[in-house]
Amino acid sequence: MVTSGSVRRTVIVHNPAGLHMRPAAAVARCAQSFRAVIRVSLDDKTVDCKSPLALITLIAVPGSLLTIEAEGADDACEAADRVSALLADPGDGH
């Protein structure tokens, strides 16, 4: 359910290694810079985007469709956009 004031994005994981430790750490670091509550979902699993370990537990392989939802602060829109861009980033091969 999309609550009022929440921002939702969907992205596909393009990193050929999926959402592994390095990109998860980068995504979490980015998310932590925002006041908004940010969640990422894959199928029926939803995790806190600010936790790199929680992101790893998504097991987001390449091609996974992720849903990002940010809410609770006026930076929710920017948070959703920045986090989404990182989640969709193909990475540098490492």
| Interface positions with another protein (CB under 8 A) | 16-22, 25, 52-53, 56-57, 59-62, 94
Smallest distance, another protein to C-beta of residue 13, A: 9
Q: Which is nearer to another protein, 12 or 53 (CB)?
A: 53
The helices-and-strands tally (H runs, E runs) of the chain is 3, 4
Beta strands in 15-62 (DSSP E): 37-42, 45-48
**34 phi, psi to nearest 5 deg:** -110, 150
Smallest distance, another protein to C-beta of residue 41, A: 16
Please give the Cα distance from 91 to 26 (Å, whole number): 11
Q: Which is nearer to another protein, 23 or 76 (CB)?
A: 23
Q: Which is nearer to another protein, 55 or 80 (CB)?
A: 55
Please give the Cα distance from 90 to 63 (Å, whole number): 11
Smallest distance, another protein to C-beta of residue 24, A: 9
